[in-house]
Amino acid sequence: MGYYSVALDMTGRFTVVIGGGTVAERKVKGLLEAGAAVTVISPSLTAQLARWVKQGRISHVARSYTPGDLAGYELAFVATDDPRVNAAVFRESKKRGLWVNAADDPAHCDFILPSVLRRGELAVAVSTGGSSPALARAIREELEAYFTRDYDALTQIVTAVRKELRQRSVTPPSEAWHGALNGELRALIRRGELKRAKTYLLDQLGGKPC
């Protein structure tokens, strides 16, 4: 099966998670980080899910899934160990034109989730097309040693510089960006000289620092 990698804006998107165990908790955590509006349907919840309900961060329907539960949602996630529930949710999703992801059940998925490494706004996703989530996770863990916390600062500086250049109507070519994101810039960031790093990047791209 062919998958097309995308980054989906989840801000305020109505999302339902069916299941209340540890797998569901991981799904909900990622969805909350992305700004989704989450409802969990499950007769029981992990302690963390219960805390999020108490804090008002997610909604909870305290029962098992029943047909019709997908009404009003844009995305659905199934995190149970019952293949019958996976199949039932998938059938309903087809009727409603809804995308669904079923944990460890690619046959009942419209989309799959990569293993994601985050450094602030930087996200590095690894996927095996659903064939081996364990391998994707292992590769992502290997990448953690390369993508250090400095990449968070690097992303913030690049974002700020890009915004400033746009305000100045300066549009450097991609080759200029490629050359500017070099070892000198990385060295400044590693030393914590973030203002100098921004000034350096602006200079390399033909802008003028404020």
Write out residues in the chain with pLDDT < 70, as ranges: 1, 208-210
Instruction: Provide the token pair at 91.
Output: 């059938």
The reply to whether 114-147 shares the fold of 14-113 is no
Instruction: Provide the token pair at 3.
Output: 């998958």
Distance CA 124, CA 147 (A): 9
* Per-residue pLDDT, 30: 92
* Per-residue pLDDT, 208: 61
Helix (H, G, I), strand (E, B), or coil: what is residue 151? helix
Domain 14-113 in CATH 3.40.50.720: yes
Model pTM?
0.82
Q: Where are the domains of the chain?
A: 14-113, 114-147, 150-204
* Per-residue pLDDT, 210: 47
Helices assigned H by DSSP within the chain: 22-33, 47-54, 83-96, 133-146, 150-167, 174-180, 183-190, 194-204
Query: Do the beta carbons of residue 162 and residue 156 sit within 8 Å?
Result: no
Distance CA 102, CA 115 (A): 15
CATH of the structural domain 114-147, one choice from 2.60.120, 3.90.1200, 3.30.160, 1.20.58: 3.30.160
